[in-house]
Structure 1
């Protein structure tokens, strides 16, 4: 990332999103050592299993939905593909993730990719409008043979990684096709399956390959000749089998099924060694298993992907349940909040209505339990006095399912509760006395202890903010474009001032913790700073272009913690940048930190983690890619 002037920030962590999934569609996973790579929306995620916060993203496919990513055998490169039939080969080690090759190989979505053992050749398969596969070199894109023999879309491909090279493809036509090469050429058709063949994988040794399909069948073949060795019939699945993956020692492989089970098979006995049940059966869609991979160098890290996006990590030595489950958003992060004033934990809400908790020190994330929102999470705010782990922490959230949720932290368990609202709330804020203010399409309502105390009718709010250490509330009106109403809270909303005349719709609003400063951003990327030292006579102190975007999406104040200047305000917009402005006093504002290309596409939420210490502070941002990024910024 570039910065204007000397660098004033450093990357601290990236909390990754989970894979994108589609009902009854195989999800391809790839691994190298302790890293797993997968497609997530229009991005590729490299997830570090040991230190999740050290994960990486690749945004080289632009706005195109990605479909699959595979590590090269060396792990130095990745080949990733998208819905347009484009393959990109890029560097996984360097910070710049330089693209080594960019090839348009099919006329439609690519479903799978495979590298040869020398990391020199690739085969891409999918649904290319008449052409279902293409073999090519990874550096120049030159053709390296012909992949044929199928009449329908190809779902999977595998290449034997030792000479003599062989390739096998699996298709919706119910067949596997075996190829010799390179250059690759048709050798024979394998008709063991009776329905869609969902996956095929070579053992690392090259001695075998296995196939699985919608007919619930599992077959083992000779890796050189493609002769059928056995069908695995004892202890099989009760639903379509979507994926298979081999252990590093080539002595066993795992399968993942829509029956919500994962099995580990022994190739000698043809029987399951272990079975893990994650749901109640094929009708339990969220727990249907769509993908599988072995990670690490041993045979003790088996990973499957659920339809819900959960990454399930199994250890055959431990029990009949996952050793751990990695949960994170699959959709864009719309709102976020610290879960403790010290910044040790935070929450983020996504476009699916789910709320996730994050631990900054461990890099772990998890799903908040209980009944979540059923629609987009529209707002989230931390209650004053929230002390964090082991103490009294409380966050309020609202969603377009017309609910207000209260999430409490007791020890290590988050317990959500909810109450209904009138209309769909779009924003939420809280004052020092823990009165919650939420804005719906028509009014602002004040709630404490699940009782409505006050409301302000017919102002059609677009955003709301409250002083967490005071009694000031500010509301931007969509009815009167460019108008902000300022209230004093005394168990009812008393309007004390209003700001009119702003030319553009107001999209984000924030108050400093003591209520002395008010800021709002608009749909044209401008910010206005207002001095509320005298709330009944507010003064505009700064009005300037804030971003090069057409919308400021999030604002967050960082105070000195002592009610003194300087104060800092961070902002995120749909220009991908995150910027921090220094307010030296009520009349002096300057750009302090400029994180260019901070978040791919758009920063839906920005927030501070704790207070400033030693002239530094931690700043976080969540975006359209479902990831959370954390920086340490130096406060000039």
Structure 2
């Protein structure tokens, strides 16, 4: 057996209330960060996204060099990593500790040689350095508070502008960069500053809802854009490729397009209501698409020629994917996340489910024989999803926090909780099992229900539609049973535990078939069988995915480092296509080749 990488369906950007989120672009690609992951997403072919997971701490900003060969990314510890974007190896060119606190923004110069990184720190708020050696190339001084943004003129003579919480812009000459003057146009925090591609002007926006334009060479203020102003903090601005237009994104939930020469608003796009639609970041791509980021993580793509709505909206997980389940159509699935959202994936795009979802982490998803899907969450709710597209309004309130969910042949939903197992049908409790052991996982096949426990055993029960009768106890695991899965015909049961061991049981014979599936080094979070029942995939906290063979138990496919931070879900989207998802919020597919 062997494997090769398939498509990657990326997470969306992380956002924080009241903070500007830095997006950037290179050609048709949009670059952003989420957790420890940097995402490079192609707007035209979404499945060809690339991710970088070299940082050990939460990343804050990433920008590709003007040459397109390198990307610089930074994190909350003040570390900047410069890495190769050409090829799949993503070779590290340099790692530099530039600040003592979080890096808020960074920028390349026009020659792709120098970088200025700005943010928070004890001794300084900015640092200018050569990308290949890390040697200093000037001083970034003049601010008394955290610097939120930096912009560099890409033409000689080089200039740089930095914008800070101290409500001032500092204009620097370069290179090497040195302080020239402070510009005090704003009255509140300055959230963003950007140079036009031509280098003739730069613009600044801030929490005072004001937009100023400056001369790119001298730093002189050329004017304020006052026509049709925003009514909330302006979080981001970006210039058009021809340097004639400016786009701004605001917490007032609007995105405005400005004609800079005429100082007039050309278009105003108004998004929905509520905090989720506050606009906190933007970028204008080389392909002339305007991308603005909602607080909810949604990426709104605008066409400057088209009316009052986004041309498209890119949805995706903003937090870890904690559970996932395939839908009947090929390459379609549901993904539940740590913030309680469940997203539906089909036709290479995500969409939000209709209706009211979970209020906390989604701990389990299970499909029923009739095509419905049931979800459980840390809000103690059991919800029904119809047609893979919307929640049924009614829900069941569990007695305690659900850990796992499974559905029997008669569509009875079994929920494993902290001290009991509840059987639910049509949002009504039909049976309750209060065992002497502590349930940790549940699986169902027909009328056979398997319950894993914290005492490292699996109990097999028969379900007659009204009550559970214990039929057998299966032993062999070396830790808390954390994942269970029946083969499609119900003849085999796999039990994964917290030590990384997987036991394959023969259900009818009540015996261990093999206990040698023990290559994982962390908790098993998910197990999934192929439709023919010959192979089982496992995903673990150790970041690896394995595909195991029933006929040849010692044969396996090892997909090492399949997802940074750990794998929470594995599932088959086709006969030979395996998907894995986990802590970084991305879903990756793998094409598996089964050798005879």
* CA deviation string 1:553-591 (max 9, x = no partner): 11111131xxxxx6111001111110000001xxx5123
The structural deviation recorded for 1:546 is: 2.1
2 CA distance for matches of 1:318 and 1:297? 15
SS of the aligned residue for 1:286 comes to helix
1:51 equivalent to 2:45? Answer yes
1:462 equivalent to 2:440? Answer yes
SS of the aligned residue for 2:276 comes to helix
1:594 equivalent to 2:594? Answer no
* 1:563 alignment partner in structure 2: none
CA contact (8 A) 2:517 2:548 kept: no
Post-superposition, which runs of at least 4 consecutive aligned residues in structure 1 deviate over 4 A? none
Q: Equivalent of 2:368, from 383, 408, 413?
A: 383
The structural deviation recorded for 1:505 is: 1.3
* CA deviation string 1:420-475 (max 9, x = no partner): 222221111112232221111122122222232222123431000011xx221100
CA contact (8 A) 1:166 1:181 kept: yes
Q: Equivalent of 1:373, from 340, 355, 358?
A: 358
Aligned residues: 592
CA contact (8 A) 1:91 1:98 kept: yes
Query: Which TM-score applies when normalising by structure 1?
Result: 0.91
Q: How does 1:65-464 map to 2 (within 5 A)?
A: 65-280=58-273, 284-298=274-288, 301-340=289-328, 342-359=329-346, 362-386=347-371, 394-409=372-387, 413-417=389-393, 418-458=395-435, 459-464=437-442
2 CA distance for matches of 1:140 and 1:99? 13
2 CA distance for matches of 1:416 and 1:590? 44
* CA deviation string 1:475-516 (max 9, x = no partner): 0123xx012111122203222111246442111111112211
Query: Which TM-score applies when normalising by structure 2?
Result: 0.97
Q: Equivalent of 2:524, from 552, 555, 565?
A: 552
1 CA distance for matches of 2:321 and 2:492? 27
2 CA distance for matches of 1:603 and 1:622? 6
The structural deviation recorded for 1:415 is: 4.2
CA contact (8 A) 2:478 2:501 kept: no
Which piece of structure 1 moves more, 484-493 or 152-161? 484-493
SS of the aligned residue for 2:512 comes to strand
* 1:4 alignment partner in structure 2: none
Q: Which runs of 5+ in 1 are unaligned?
A: 1-6, 387-393, 561-565
Which piece of structure 1 moves more, 545-554 or 439-448? 545-554
* 1:576 alignment partner in structure 2: 543
2 CA distance for matches of 1:545 and 1:131? 53
2 CA distance for matches of 1:452 and 1:620? 33
SS of the aligned residue for 1:22 comes to coil
CA contact (8 A) 1:510 1:519 kept: yes
CA contact (8 A) 1:409 1:415 kept: no
2 CA distance for matches of 1:161 and 1:250? 13
2 CA distance for matches of 1:553 and 1:423? 21
The structural deviation recorded for 1:27 is: 0.4
* CA deviation string 1:518-546 (max 9, x = no partner): 11111111111110134xxx011111352
* CA deviation string 1:79-127 (max 9, x = no partner): 0000111111111121011111111111111000010001010000000
